[in-house]
Structure 1
């Protein structure tokens, strides 16, 4: 059994406890997702020594969610968080892991030269990441880190096109230049199980894969399963899971060399197959393409950059088709050995979300950015069972509803009601569930068609 060792950065500043909200003399509450020190503004200004003052804002925020009216006001400012968390929080990669879970598979000479080169590059990557024996020795993993997200939207003017040079309206989101702070906890168990919890500025998104379905849950939307076969979490490929990265790119093709951030790299490409795209599409939302590129350094053989492009077409009755293109680019930095396996401890993801296809006045481009640092990582976690990856209980009902509506998003009015709500790092019990009216935090700056398109986009990612 591999030695279990907790890796912590010297600058680790994460709060794992919060004062009891019901009794001042009660035991502290253990947070499911630790909170970055920066989120406790009063404590940060006082050097972090005043615990009660540092938690006062968190306690006030928590209590406000118990009342429906206060909850609506708090969530009212999170229309941009809904978009950022939906797009950047827990996206999936284009393809599922191959069923044989092999790094290379058949002999290199059996494939075309582009595929053979890709398999050779993956072999070098496996060796640089720690070796096949070390990667296969990882049965489970835990990772915890900090994130900071921000967004800017540019709305094109008449005759603008999509290059951003025409007159338009630019709106900063996500807390301005400072962005929205948050944290994530990721659990994985080989071969295909994973569960992510991400909290950003008080809004929590949960996602997971039990080996049969991949699902997602947010405060503003009922739990729902992703269409098509379950796929790995994109965040895992950002230097956190070398084994899954090698399995996926073993089926890629090498399309050449390219320099990225001054580092000469081999460029590998993965395209989602037509059958996979069809299984993820519905009668009114068509996934046209989903492509993933991996940049493997010629110097270290490690993955240093990850890009993917996702294009879908939304068909509306009696209207022209609208297209949404999502482009994500992630730099992967600060590799450190953890029990002999190279794990990235920092990175940055830039996202461009472009809507086009009807009139030039309706063209919008939203740019989002996330920076993250890994604070802790462990391998081979004792007691991590299948129960840790079970989907929410309402997934079955949601799947039946999706089948009856052919994947179309139900109107916002149907979502009004008593939804299961995870507030921050606490799970509110059934007796304290706050009813969330989705119409009260819609994007006021968008027309109904743009709102509907964003909702369909979030469900398709």
Structure 2
């Protein structure tokens, strides 16, 4: 682009509505006016549709290409499209519960701190050594590029009305791909495409945002937090910084591995900042399971509970639990990076007084194909939040 063309354009900040962390999908039809509605109103509408759908409500087959001139989603039924959007809303780009500590973990002092915290500090030091990051402190990577494949699956939805329990859905899924860019400190950009639908998200180190075709662009409220996809074995330094002040809860067996369990949780002030209209965040907790044998992170689980107040005083709770098995660590320029894993998410809806509840189980299988450190030419300009660009010929 010429310098004259650049001078004739002006960046204008785009107003961002709050980013809801959960199943942020729309109803059967995508009306432009509906984008002004609360995201939680949309969730309630999705639950009503699920409750009234007779029989199964499975995802579309994996034969539909990701891209193509004729792929405009017109061949998807409303129910199947809702399934896919639910998957992308929950598993597309979830965030960790707390910000990453900017203070180097090697500078933490363990004197006069609780035993649970000092034990966690020791475990994280072992994790840094196991991944090779301890040797990379002085010559650490400034940025990273990652690409990979995903398969999203909605297994089933269980709906209970108190006396009767009905299960819908079948195990079928969609293949997709993603590209992730990251730059220290706290900047990242993600593009995830599945069956012609693309989720784009990013952070410039100050604000986290997400864009979907059906909801537009939304900003995350509260403190700036990292992308969960980054800390699940993809960037050991970010993972260690996240658990810098964790608590060690003890030991637990995961598969064939005995693991140390570390816990981090968002404090009360932080979750209050994330409230959106009628939606009140109650808690958000993350657990990391570090193998006692290898020192590596092999499992991660977080739980996010939100209370939603509706106009008719029917208080509803939404609990999202995401558990990820992490493995296939490979050496990339002296650092061990996890190259595959499996994530299972459960969205549980229940009322404060009603006997009705629903539980939807989802699954993601992901594989990393390429990891490159210190990409030439990558700058902070690559992480600028969305903005409207329009020509203003008379502007300087």
Could you state the TM-score of these two structures normalised by the residue count of structure 1? 0.68
Residue of structure 1 in register with 2:143 after alignment: 140
Deviation at 1:270, TM superposition (A): 0.3
Residue of structure 2 in register with 1:97 after alignment: 100
Root mean square deviation of aligned Cα: 2.3
Q: Judging changes above 3 Å, is the alpha-carbon distance between structure 1 residues 343 and 361 closer, same or farther for their aligned structure 2 residues?
A: same
- Output one character per residue of 1:128-186: Cα deviation in whole Å (capped at 9) or x when no partner: 110334256111111111100111343333326xxxxxx422222xxx53411001111
Alignment of 1:377-396 (within 5 A): 377-393=371-387
Give SS of 2:387's match.
coil
Match of 1:208 among 179, 202, 211: 202
Residue of structure 2 in register with 1:226 after alignment: 220
Alignment of 1:26-41 (within 5 A): 41=63
Match of 2:327 among 328, 333, 344: 333
Match of 2:69 among 62, 83, 86: 62
Residue of structure 2 in register with 1:194 after alignment: 188
Alignment of 1:155-174 (within 5 A): 155-159=158-162, 167-172=164-169
Quick check: 1:109 aligned with 2:111? yes
Residue of structure 2 in register with 1:131 after alignment: 133
Residue of structure 1 in register with 2:248 after alignment: 254
CA distance, structure 1, for counterparts of residue 158 and residue 328 of structure 2: 36
CA distance, structure 2, for counterparts of residue 360 and residue 183 of structure 1: 40
- Pairs aligned (count): 329
Does the Cα contact within 8 Å between 1:155 and 1:362 map onto a contact in 2? no
Could you state the TM-score of these two structures normalised by the residue count of structure 2? 0.78
Give SS of 1:278's match.
helix
- Output one character per residue of 1:106-138: Cα deviation in whole Å (capped at 9) or x when no partner: 322231100000000000000111033425611
Give SS of 2:69's match.
helix
Residue of structure 2 in register with 1:281 after alignment: 275
Give SS of 2:311's match.
coil
- Output one character per residue of 1:181-219: Cα deviation in whole Å (capped at 9) or x when no partner: 001111000111000100111110000000110000011
Match of 1:317 among 289, 307, 311: 311
Deviation at 1:361, TM superposition (A): 5.8
Q: Would you tell me which structure has more helix in proportion to its own residues?
A: 1
Residue of structure 1 in register with 2:37 after alignment: none
Residue of structure 2 in register with 1:355 after alignment: 349
CA distance, structure 1, for counterparts of residue 273 and residue 296 of structure 2: 32
Q: Would you tell me which structure has more strand in proportion to its own residues?
A: 2
Q: Judging changes above 3 Å, is the alpha-carbon distance between structure 1 residues 204 and 390 closer, same or farther for their aligned structure 2 residues?
A: same
CA distance, structure 1, for counterparts of residue 352 and residue 234 of structure 2: 40
CA distance, structure 2, for counterparts of residue 178 and residue 135 of structure 1: 44
Gaps of 5+ in 2: 1-60, 390-396
Does the Cα contact within 8 Å between 1:193 and 1:211 map onto a contact in 2? yes
CA distance, structure 1, for counterparts of residue 137 and residue 90 of structure 2: 29
Does the Cα contact within 8 Å between 2:155 and 2:363 map onto a contact in 1? no
Deviation at 1:63, TM superposition (A): 3.5
Q: Judging changes above 3 Å, is the alpha-carbon distance between structure 1 residues 110 and 193 closer, same or farther for their aligned structure 2 residues?
A: same
- Output one character per residue of 1:64-100: Cα deviation in whole Å (capped at 9) or x when no partner: 54xxxxx555584421111110110100000011232
Deviation at 1:360, TM superposition (A): 4.9
